[in-house]
C-alpha cells in the first residue's frame, strides 16, 4: 500500500485543511478567553466557570447533536456549525459583560460538537477503510501541534494587540473553514426515515448493547473517573511534589502535545501489527503502570520523559479506538455514537475533577493521584481479563 496515497485524496485534504485553520483559531481564542476573564475579574473562579460551562454544554447537547448529525446532511452541518461559531466568537469583540462570555461559550461548544460529530461520522465516507487510521492520525497530529503552539501565540498576541483581535482572527478562521468544506464531495448514506423515529437515548442504548462499544465505554468511564482529576491537580503536583514552578509545569504540559504527535504516528505503525482490541486493552493497562511510575519519580527531567511516554501510549491507543468505532458503527448511527461520547463520559469527568480536588485538600495531592492510578490499573486489568475470558468462551462455544 502506498503510504502517501491519502494525500492524493482531495476531499480528505480539504477536510484536514478546514479543520486545521479553524482549530488554530479556536486554540488561540481558548487561551485568550481565559486571559481576558482573568484580566477583567482577577478571579480563578471565572476561569473554572468557563471550563465547566463548556463541559455541561457537551453533556446536555450530546443526544440532540447525535440525532441531528444522523438525520441531516453532514457536509451542510459542518458548514453551518462553522458559520455559527464564527458569528458567536465575533460577539466577544464588542462584548462588555462577563455573563455574555459564558453564554457564547455554551452555544459555541454545542456548535463545535455538531462539527466534530459530523466530521468524525463523515470521515469513513471520504476515506477508504484501510486509510482511516492514517486519516485520524494526521488530524490528531495536527490537533496536538496546534495545542503546543496555541497557548504561546495567545499570550504573545494578547500582550501585543489584546484579546479582541484574536476573536476576530478566530471568527475569520471559522468562515474560511466553512468555505473549504463547501468544496468537499462525499456521500452521506444515512437512513433519513429511520432517523426520524429515533429517540434521544437511541445512541446511548446502542453503545451499551453493542459488545465492542460497551467494552470501550466501560473502560473509558473508568479511565475518566480515575484520571480526569489529573488536569486540575497537575500544577499543584509540580509545585508541591516536584518542587518546581510555572515554567516547568508549562514544559510538562507540552509533553501532551508532543506525545499526541508521536502517538499519531505510532498509531499508524501498530495498526497493521496488532488486533485493535489488543492495542486497546494493553494500552489502557500500560497507562496505569506508567502513571504509577510517573508519580514515583522525583527528578523533573525523568518525570517529563515518563509523562511523554504516557501521552504517546494514550494517544496511539485512542486513535486506533476511534478508527475502529468508525469502522464497526453503521453510517446511520455514527452521529449518535460520537455525539453521545461527551454525554456518557462528561459526568464522570466532572466527578473525578470535583472529588480529586476535594480530596487533595484533605490529603496531599500525590497520595490522591497515586491511589487513583493504582485503583485504575487494578480495575482495568480485571475488566480486560474478564472480557478476554468471555471472548475465548464464546469462540469455544461457536466451535462446539
pLDDT at 3 (0 to 100): 59
Instruction: Give the mean pLDDT per block of 10 residues along the chain (400 residues).
Output: 71 88 82 76 70 83 80 87 91 83 90 86 82 82 78 74 82 91 72 51 81 84 86 80 79 83 82 71 86 92 93 87 83 78 82 84 87 89 75 57
The residues near 373 (Cβ < 8 Å, ≥ 6 apart) are 226, 227, 288, 291, 292, 295
pLDDT at 293 (0 to 100): 94
pLDDT at 197 (0 to 100): 47
Give residue for cell 485520524: 136
Give CA separation, 169 vs 17, 158, 172, in Å.
16, 12, 5
CA distance 10 to 126: 9
Sign of CA dihedral 48, 287, 272, 277: negative
pLDDT at 196 (0 to 100): 44
Q: Which of these, 277, 255, 279, lies nearest to 266 by C-alpha position?
A: 279
Sign of CA dihedral 55, 60, 62, 66: negative
pLDDT at 231 (0 to 100): 77
pLDDT at 80 (0 to 100): 92
CA distance 365 to 236: 7
Residue ranges and CATH numbers for the domains of the chain are: 1-187 (1.20.1250.20), 199-400 (1.20.1250.20)
pLDDT at 394 (0 to 100): 61
pLDDT at 393 (0 to 100): 61
How many other C-beta atoms can be found within 10 angstroms of the C-beta atom of residue 195?
20
The residues near 255 (Cβ < 8 Å, ≥ 6 apart) are 304, 307, 308, 311
pLDDT at 195 (0 to 100): 47
pLDDT at 194 (0 to 100): 47
Amino acid at each position: 500500500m502506498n503510504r502517501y496515497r491519502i494525500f492524493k485524496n482531495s476531499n480528505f485534504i480539504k477536510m484536514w485543511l478546514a479543520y486545521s485553520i479553524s482549530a488554530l483559531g479556536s486554540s488561540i481564542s481558548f487561551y485568550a478567553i481565559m486571559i481576558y476573564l482573568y484580566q477583567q475579574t482577577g478571579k480563578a473562579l471565572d476561569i473554572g466557570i468557563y471550563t465547566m460551562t463548556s463541559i455541561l454544554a457537551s453533556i446536555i447537547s450530546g443526544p440532540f447533536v447525535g440525532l441531528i448529525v444522523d438525520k441531516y446532511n453532514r457536509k451542510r452541518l459542518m458548514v453551518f456549525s462553522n458559520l455559527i461559531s464564527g458569528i458567536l466568537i465575533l460577539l466577544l469583540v464588542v462584548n462588555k459583560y462577563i455573563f455574555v462570555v459564558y453564554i457564547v461559550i455554551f452555544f459555541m461548544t454545542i456548535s463545535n460538537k455538531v462539527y466534530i460529530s459530523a466530521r468524525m461520522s463523515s470521515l469513513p465516507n471520504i476515506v477508504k477503510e484501510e486509510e482511516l487510521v492514517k486519516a485520524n492520525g494526521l488530524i490528531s497530529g495536527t490537533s496536538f501541534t496546534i495545542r503546543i503552539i496555541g497557548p504561546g501565540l495567545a499570550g504573545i498576541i494578547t500582550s501585543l494587540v489584546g484579546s479582541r483581535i484574536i476573536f476576530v482572527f478566530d471568527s475569520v478562521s471559522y468562515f474560511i473553514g466553512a468555505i473549504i468544506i463547501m468544496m468537499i464531495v462525499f456521500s452521506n448514506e444515512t437512513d433519513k426515515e429511520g432517523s426520524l423515529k429515533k429517540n434521544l437515548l437511541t445512541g446511548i442504548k446502542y453503545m451499551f448493547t453493542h459488545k465492542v462499544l460497551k467494552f470501550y465505554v466501560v473502560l473509558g468511564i473508568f479511565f475518566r473517573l480515575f484520571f480526569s482529576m489529573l488536569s486540575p491537580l497537575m500544577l499543584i503536583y509540580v509545585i508541591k511534589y516536584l518542587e518546581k514552578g510555572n515554567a516547568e509545569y508549562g514544559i510538562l504540559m507540552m509533553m501532551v502535545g508532543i506525545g499526541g504527535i508521536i502517538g499519531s504516528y505510532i498509531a499508524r505503525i501498530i495498526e497493521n501489527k496488532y488486533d485493535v482490541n489488543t492495542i486497546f486493552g494493553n494500552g489502557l493497562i500500560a497507562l496505569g503502570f506508567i502513571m504509577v511510575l510517573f508519580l514515583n519519580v522525583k527528578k523533573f527531567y525523568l518525570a517529563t520523559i515518563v509523562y511523554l511516554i504516557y501521552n504517546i501510549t494514550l494517544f496511539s491507543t485512542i486513535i486506533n479506538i476511534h478508527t475502529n468505532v468508525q469502522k464497526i458503527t453503521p453510517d446511520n448511527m455514527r452521529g449518535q455514537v460520537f455525539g453521545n461520547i461527551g454525554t456518557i463520559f462528561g459526568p464522570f469527568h466532572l466527578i473525578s475533577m470535583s472529588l480529586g480536588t476535594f480530596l487533595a485538600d484533605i490529603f496531599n495531592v500525590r497520595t490522591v493521584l497515586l491511589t487513583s492510578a493504582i485503583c485504575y490499573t487494578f480495575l482495568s486489568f480485571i475488566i480486560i481479563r474478564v472480557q478476554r475470558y468471555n471472548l475465548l468462551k464464546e469462540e469455544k462455544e461457536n466451535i462446539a
